[in-house]
Structure 1
């Protein structure tokens, strides 16, 4: 268990909808009391018609920063390969400033090969992309510290992925939030590995918020994940309809847990 409050996020997938539909979903999710709104960083749909409607991540986050007033926003997750690290830091600082300090910098090493092929990035190997992420994170941190004006706060860094040798070591060194997938048994095993990486780099694992993608009814998976220290639970919804029924159930469960 943890002393952190339970938080609920929703990933509003920027696919199969015109932007009016996305804007409505964002407004409704914030009105419901959602803690974090996420999109994703891809150039094509990940499900349904592979050539369906789709929008870019970071220009959308800037629009969300203007549209919303309370909810935190971020990508689940930014692909490190698509932008120079210094540029990404400047983009993050700018969106943070637009939103008065509500950005979460979600980042990962990238995996969707079509994005790379059609936009001209070198796909390489999974290990190579993780090595690139390891090199980029200190550059991002350095640039955030050099910008004028600086971010409004230390922008929380969320690292997504469950790789036990490289990804979790990067989480131990750089992340404020670790986002992963799996049931309570999987999370228990991986958090044990994360604790060892934290010990290796001299980091208190309690500084890292645990985040998991969830679906279904909260009572089916929420309590067991909470017992493993997970406090950020994120559901997903896609266009064109953006059904927020599942989100409502998780928000009600959050309110029961937090009292």
Structure 2
């Protein structure tokens, strides 16, 4: 399966007024991004810990109306914050609002302050992964029962690199696997993912490899493509949302 190289940007919903986030979304779509992501937290992850911050899914509904071409999604939704059936319905709704442009990015969760201040049980890494393993089939089952149904088979992106559990969930449920891996780690974990796919009877080529990138595509882009990655995500933070790195990666994509 030959995939087109795609470029995404994660607009961190922190330290900015919403008008600045809205402007960044417009600029990112105009710049040629294939996907625009936010993240699913309740407080900033960097900088002033009590700085400005906005909620993920309410924002995705607004992005669905604001944009016309790009795919949108969270990188990634925390499974712990919403009942799986509710999350499936939210995703289906944003899928319809956007005309079929939602990517459901999902992970087990990790930011303890979110849990403590919003009253969720933090548990352990193991318990959060176990919850994710139960949620993924429930989301799929709810999509099959909703009226109206989603406009398409909503792509599921699973984030993380745990070799024993997370990559197994990727093999079982994901259309996209997202990692923060360098080249060597990506190659090793892709081999682990391929074994999980063999165990569950799935072609690993069905799963798109996504990586978070920094710096210039001239340094790492071609090598990551050779290793199987085709979706590359840069990030931009508020309040200014400098998209120069996004434009550089888009230019590299277009020159290929």
After TM superposition, is the score higher than 0.5? yes
Separation in structure 1 between the aligned mates of residue 50 and residue 219 of structure 2, nearest angstrom: 35
Q: Secondary structure, in 3 states, of the residue corresponding to 2:36?
A: strand
Map of 1:174 onto structure 2: 173
Instruction: Using the TM superposition, give the Cα deviation of residue 33 of structure 1 relative to its aligned residue in structure 2, in angstroms.
Output: 1.0
Separation in structure 1 between the aligned mates of residue 60 and residue 42 of structure 2, nearest angstrom: 15
Map of 1:104 onto structure 2: 103
Map of 1:91 onto structure 2: 90
Q: 8 Å contact 1:78–1:106 — kept in the other structure? A: yes
Q: What is the TM-score of this pair, normalised by structure 1?
A: 0.98
Separation in structure 2 between the aligned mates of residue 117 and residue 225 of structure 1, nearest angstrom: 38
Task: Indicate whether 1:116 and 2:119 are aligned.
Answer: no
Map of 1:34 onto structure 2: 33
| Runs of at least 5 residues in structure 2 that lack an aligned partner in the other structure | none
Map of 1:165 onto structure 2: 164
Map of 1:224 onto structure 2: 223
Q: 8 Å contact 1:172–1:205 — kept in the other structure? A: yes
Map of 2:186 onto structure 1: 187
Cα deviation code 1:181-223 (max 9, x no counterpart): 1211110000000000000000100000000000100011111
Map of 2:239 onto structure 1: 240
Map of 1:24 onto structure 2: 23
Separation in structure 2 between the aligned mates of residue 139 and residue 67 of structure 1, nearest angstrom: 30
Cα deviation code 1:27-63 (max 9, x no counterpart): 0000111100000000000000000000000000000
Q: Secondary structure, in 3 states, of the residue corresponding to 2:209?
A: strand
Map of 1:80 onto structure 2: 79
Map of 1:8 onto structure 2: 7
| Runs of at least 5 residues in structure 1 that lack an aligned partner in the other structure | none
Map of 1:129 onto structure 2: 128
Instruction: Using the TM superposition, give the Cα deviation of residue 256 of structure 1 relative to its aligned residue in structure 2, in angstroms.
Output: 1.0
Q: 8 Å contact 1:95–1:103 — kept in the other structure? A: yes
Separation in structure 2 between the aligned mates of residue 57 and residue 34 of structure 1, nearest angstrom: 19
Separation in structure 1 between the aligned mates of residue 255 and residue 189 of structure 2, nearest angstrom: 27
Map of 1:46 onto structure 2: 45
Cα deviation code 1:94-140 (max 9, x no counterpart): 00000000000000000000000000000000011000000000000
Separation in structure 2 between the aligned mates of residue 29 and residue 213 of structure 1, nearest angstrom: 17
Separation in structure 2 between the aligned mates of residue 251 and residue 9 of structure 1, nearest angstrom: 9
Q: Secondary structure, in 3 states, of the residue corresponding to 2:223?
A: helix
Separation in structure 2 between the aligned mates of residue 252 and residue 127 of structure 1, nearest angstrom: 41
